[in-house]
């Protein structure tokens, strides 16, 4: 095995779900089809090759269940190398580029964080988010203010939608941070 890391977020989504509990390719497709979790493809032509890559990289291991049938069902579970790769991925420092170009990936990282890192990493992640939002929102406001008033308002409205989304995200970050506060009397796990 070549110890390579996944190159796309689909790989990490699969790895993370498998780490939460062992699943088959079909199980994973159902997750993508039926839950709001990740808007990933769910097409067999994406899932099965991705699983094969993860297994070849040694990040997951498949065991055949139900030997009785011709078409064996493979149940994958995460390997220690897989958990390590996942932990490294979620712990990466945030960049503004992540925000602008890969927002979904960022939330996927957050969602998968719970099972592989401790709360300090989560807090760091959220604090970095806050920092970036505090830098980025005013930038967007500036661009909005400089947009010409003439012509159809669609462009300005689309941008203001973006700004309002980021503001909603910012409120959420503060709420989430409160839930992970290190020195709260009322800690998590109640």
Which residues would be at the binding site for a copy of itself (CB under 8 A)? 35-37, 39, 100-101, 107-108, 110-115, 122, 140, 143, 151-155, 157-162, 164-165, 167-169, 171-172, 176, 179, 188
Which backbone phi and psi does 61 adopt, to 5 degrees? -130, 135
Q: Are 32 and 127 in contact (CB under 8 A)?
A: no
Cα 88 to the chain's mean position, in Å?
13
53-92 residues near DNA, rule: CB under 7 A: 53, 68-74
Position 49 contacts DNA (CB under 7 A): yes
For 21, the 3-state DSSP assignment is coil
Closer of 61 and 115 to a copy of itself (Cβ)? 115
**Residue 145's binding partner out of DNA, a copy of itself, none, with CB under 5 to 8 Å set by partner kind:** none
Position 46 contacts DNA (CB under 7 A): yes
| Nearest residue to 19 via CA among 88, 63, 76 | 76
Shortest Cβ distance from residue 154 to DNA (Å)? 22
| Nearest residue to 94 via CA among 83, 109, 115 | 109
Position 18 contacts DNA (CB under 7 A): no
Shortest Cβ distance from residue 144 to a copy of itself (Å)? 9
| Nearest residue to 96 via CA among 60, 53, 139, 63 | 139
Closer of 19 and 29 to DNA (Cβ)? 29
Q: Are 82 and 60 in contact (CB under 8 A)?
A: yes
122-181 residues near DNA, rule: CB under 7 A: none
Shortest Cβ distance from residue 1 to a copy of itself (Å)? 29
Which of 21, 43, 95, 161 binds DNA (CB under 7 A)? It is 43
Q: Are 67 and 74 in contact (CB under 8 A)?
A: no
């Amino acid at each position: 095995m070549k110890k390579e890391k996944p190159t796309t977020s689909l790989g990490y989504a699969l790895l993370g779900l498998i780490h939460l509990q062992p699943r088959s390719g079909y199980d994973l497709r159902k997750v993508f089809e039926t839950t709001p979790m990740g808007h990933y493809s769910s097409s067999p032509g994406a899932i099965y090759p991705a699983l094969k890559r993860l297994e070849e990289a040694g990040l997951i291991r498949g065991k055949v269940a139900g030997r009785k049938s011709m078409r064996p069902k493979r149940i994958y579970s995460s390997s220690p190398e897989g958990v390590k790769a996942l932990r490294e991925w979620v712990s990466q420092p945030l960049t503004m580029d992540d925000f602008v170009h890969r927002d979904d990936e960022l939330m996927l990282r957050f969602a998968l964080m719970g099972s592989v890192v401790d709360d300090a990493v989560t807090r760091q992640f959220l604090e970095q988010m806050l920092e970036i939002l505090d830098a980025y929102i005013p930038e967007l406001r500036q661009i909005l203010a400089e947009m010409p008033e003439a012509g159809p308002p669609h462009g300005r409205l689309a941008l203001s939608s973006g700004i309002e989304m980021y503001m909603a995200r910012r409120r959420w970050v503060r709420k989430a941070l409160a839930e992970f506060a290190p020195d709260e009397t009322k800690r998590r796990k109640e």
